[in-house]
Each structure stands twice: as C-alpha cells, then as structure tokens.
Amino acid sequence: MDESENKPFDRPTQRKVIVYSSVIYLISFLFVYFMSELSIHLTALSYGLESYIFQYKTILFQSRQYVQMTTESLLAVNIAGPLSCLILGLLLYRFKIVFSNRRGYLNIFLIWSYLHAFNFFLGGFVSAVITGSGFGFLANWIDVRISIRAILSITFLGIFSYIGSSSAYYFLESAFENHLINKRNRHAYILCIVFLPWLFCSLLLILISIPSNSWYDTLLYFTMLFAIMPIFNKAGELHEIYLFSWQNRYQVNRLVYVIAVVFLILFRIYIR
C-alpha cells in the first residue's frame, strides 16, 4: 500500500474542503431556487396573472387577481416550480453521468445542483403538505386524503434517500488524493464535503432570510438531510473508487466567491 494513503486528514485540508464545498453548495442552491421561481413567473404570465404574487406562500387570497384564476391556472402555477425542479434534477443527474470524467467546480456543482433540484420536488412535497403551501395548498384544494399524503410523503423521502445514497460515490471520487477517502479518513471527508457545508449554508440562508422566513423554506433546508445521511452509510460500503487528477486542490477561485456573494444579495433582495 502507498504510504501516502496513511496520511492524516489534517485540519488545513479539512477547512479547504469545507469552504470549497460550501461555496458551491450556496451557488447551486440559489441557481435551482431562481430557476424554480422563474418557472413559476413564466407560468403565471402565460395565464395573464401578475407573476410576483406567486411564490411558495399561500397569498393568492390576498390578490385581486385571485378571482380570475381557474382550476387549470391554479394547478399550473402551484405545480410549476416543483415540476420544473424535477425535470432539472433529472437533466443534471444525466449530465453528471455523461460528464463523469470532469473535475473541478463542475463536478461538485452538478452533484449539489441535482440534489437541490430533487429536494425542491421530493422534499418540497413533504414540506408543502406540512405547511399547507404549494403542493399542500393544492392537496387541500382538490381534497386529497391525509393517508394518501402521508404515503406519498414517505415514498418521496425514500426515493430522495436512495438518490442521496447513490451520490456517495460521486462525492468520494471528488477527492484529490487517496488518503482522503481511505477507511480512516472517509467519514471525516464526507463530514467536511457534505454534512458541514449543508449545516453552515442552511443556517446562513435562514439568517439572511430574517424576517421573511417561511416554514416551507425552513423545512426544505432540513429535508435535505434525507439525502445527506444515507451518504455516510453508503460511503463506508464502497471499495474501488476512481479519483480524478485534480489541479486546484480545493482552491476556490475568487470569481466563484464573487458569484456566491452576488447570488446571496439577489436572494436577499428577492425574498423582501
């Protein structure tokens, strides 16, 4: 065995991995978020409705244009965001498979992006059922039984957990050296590249959303755990992992920081 594989996962490298993955986590989340909102706006405009009133909040009753809404337009506007995210997630997952030999930012960006996109649909359904917004508002509108909502919620979370588990290999192959993912360091690596970026970024998004936080958005951050936690278990079971030849060693380009900051500012402006 190569002696380099026995090297410890030192603190400086841990910090680099956390920062690297966290920045891309934020960019990918905000990318999916804005794509979801764009689909809602375009759908509303196609029905001649003011697009700014349609978000993941049940504020339709407060709009003068509510009286103009038909069952078809109500269905389309409420399902536009989650459905577009499902399609986006499938496309990004396919791109990840096709471009599996790519390294650097694109690799991690595709993984986080398709996880966010699937969360907006699968986790979004659960959050909406609990809060009564989006899918949940629609379920109340068409009077879907509580038992059916519960069964669908459990099914969707199960599917999301499977997607997360299947992503373990992709996260591990993003390591730039073998010693980062040996049996000794593997779970620490997953902690730094998956769990801690989710934790830090979720708290950051909650903080910058004050006082406009909605229960739907907050729950959506935490449904991501159903994809993240299975990664730890799956990562321990994998054996042969092909590593890319990395050039940047988790060095984040300044342009990536700028993009992340710009996206956060736009997010803060938008939710106001």
Q: Cα separation of 58 and 184, whole Å?
A: 49
**pLDDT tens digits along 185-207:** 888 999 999 999 999 999 999 98
Q: Is the pLDDT of residue 53 over 50?
A: no
- What are the residues facing 55 on neighbouring strands? 57
Would you state the pLDDT for residue 256?
A: 63
Q: Cα separation of 89 and 115, whole Å?
A: 7
Lowest mean pLDDT among 135-139, 144-148, 227-231: 135-139
Q: Is the pLDDT of residue 224 over 90?
A: yes
Q: Cα separation of 85 and 148, whole Å?
A: 22
Would you state the pLDDT for residue 119?
A: 97
CB atoms within 10 A of CB 257: 13
Would you state the pLDDT for residue 56?
A: 38
Would you state the pLDDT for residue 243?
A: 57
Would you state the pLDDT for residue 112?
A: 96
Would you state the pLDDT for residue 93?
A: 93
**pLDDT tens digits along 124-144:** 999 888 887 766 666 666 667
- 224 or 185, greater pLDDT: 224
Q: Cα separation of 237 and 257, whole Å?
A: 34
The predicted model scores a pTM of: 0.83
